[in-house]
Structure 1
């Protein structure tokens, strides 16, 4: 789908605040209410806007430990990959899972309350994931940037 300047501006505004009213959104992007509403509905039906969410503050929820884990698998056949990926879905502390290029197969992001909780998760679940050969954990010391906004270019 080709996006014009209005579509891009709608996306920029909604990324910052998905609770903005349609009246305010249309005013900010320079469209009347109905054309703006139609564009939002089209962006949703085309899958560009996947969903609207509420972002939580992990530190205020006592979930201040972020761990990045590189995973290397023993086997790389389709069944092993699918089994690993399905199993990761069942671990709520794993908030992201990416396949990667290079020596490592996956990169996981885990969010937990403490290092002790991570150690328990590691021993009880992560090392038991299907086909895992090696896990390499790195603890984030400080989050320098945190954005959910994609870099939408101007037309």
Structure 2
């Protein structure tokens, strides 16, 4: 789907505040209410807008430890990859899972309350994921940038 300048501006505004009213959104992007509403509905139907969320402050929820884990699997056949990917879905502390190129197969992002909680998770869940050969953990010391906004270019 080709996006014009109005579509891109709608997406920029919604990324910053998904609770914005349609009246405010249409005013901010320079469209009347109905055409703006139609564009939003079209982008939802086309799968460009896939949901609206509430962002939480992890530190205020006592979830201040972020760990990045490189995973290497023993096997790389389709069933092995599928089994691993299905298994990570059931671990709430894993908030992101990416397949990667190069020597490592996956990159996980885990968020927990403490290093002790991560150690428990590592020993009791992560090392028991299907076909795991090697895990390499790196703890984030400080978050320098955090954005959920995609870099939508202006035309």
TM-score by length of 1: 1.00
1:31 to partner: Cα distance:
0.1
Tell me whether 1:54 sits opposite 2:54 in the alignment: yes
Q: Which residue of structure 1 lines up, in the alignment, with residue 102 of structure 2?
A: 102
Could you give the per-residue CA deviations for residues 83-140 of structure 1, whole angstroms, max 9, x where no partner exists?
0000000000000000000000000000000000000000000000000000000000
Tell me whether 1:126 sits opposite 2:133 in the alignment: no
Cα distance in 1, alignment partners of residues 52 and 129 from structure 2: 31
What is the count of residue pairs matched by the alignment? 155
Tell me whether 1:152 sits opposite 2:139 in the alignment: no
Q: Which residue of structure 1 lines up, in the alignment, with residue 10 of structure 2?
A: 10
Cα distance in 1, alignment partners of residues 131 and 17 from structure 2: 41
Cα distance in 2, alignment partners of residues 79 and 149 from structure 1: 34
1:63 to partner: Cα distance:
0.2
Alignment of 1:34-49 (within 5 A): 34-49=34-49
RMSD over aligned Cα, in angstroms?
0.3
Unaligned 5+ residue runs, structure 1? none
TM-score by length of 2: 1.00
Query: 1:141 is paired with a residue of what secondary structure?
Result: coil
Q: Which residue of structure 1 lines up, in the alignment, with residue 115 of structure 2?
A: 115
Query: 1:121 is paired with a residue of what secondary structure?
Result: helix
Q: Which residue of structure 2 lines up, in the alignment, with residue 20 of structure 1?
A: 20
Q: Which residue of structure 2 lines up, in the alignment, with residue 73 of structure 1?
A: 73
Cα distance in 1, alignment partners of residues 89 and 125 from structure 2: 12
4+ residue segments displaced more than 4 Å: none
